[in-house]
Amino acid sequence: MTKIEELIKQYEEYAQKNGFRLNPGKGIVERLVKGLLENEKKYGARYCPCRRIAANKEEDRPKICPCQWHREEIEKDGHCFCGLFVRPC
């Protein structure tokens, strides 16, 4: 299993345990996970690819996926800002 597949599986499990689901668009999920892994390589953490990184660990901590805003965004908009997690059908 590749690192991307492993991370997708982890996020699927996280979503199920928390009452929402992973975006059904496989390409979207793969692109986002690649972005998370790139941010981990570049910045040392899996920062959400849709958030601007300030390169200040304290300021950026809430942006680590799943970010601190994802539940509120799913509730309000039906998906988190980047679209990795979506409201259940």
Can you spell out the DSSP letters for 17-41?
A: HTT-EE-S-HHHHHHHHHHHHHHHH
Confidence of residue 48 (pLDDT cuts 50, 70, 90): very high
Res 1 pLDDT > 90? no
| Span 26-86 CATH architecture | Alpha-Beta Complex (3.90)
Read off the pTM.
Answer: 0.93
Task: Kindly state the DSSP code that residue 74 receives in the 8-state scheme.
Answer: H
Strand partners, 79: 86
**55-88 pLDDT, tens per residue?**
899 999 999 999 999 999 999 999 999 999 999 9
Q: Residue 89 has what pLDDT?
A: 81
Measured CA to CA in angstroms, residue 31 lies from 18, 76, 81 at distances of: 22, 24, 14
Q: pLDDT tens-digit profile of 22-33?
A: 999 999 999 999
Domain ranges in the chain are 26-86
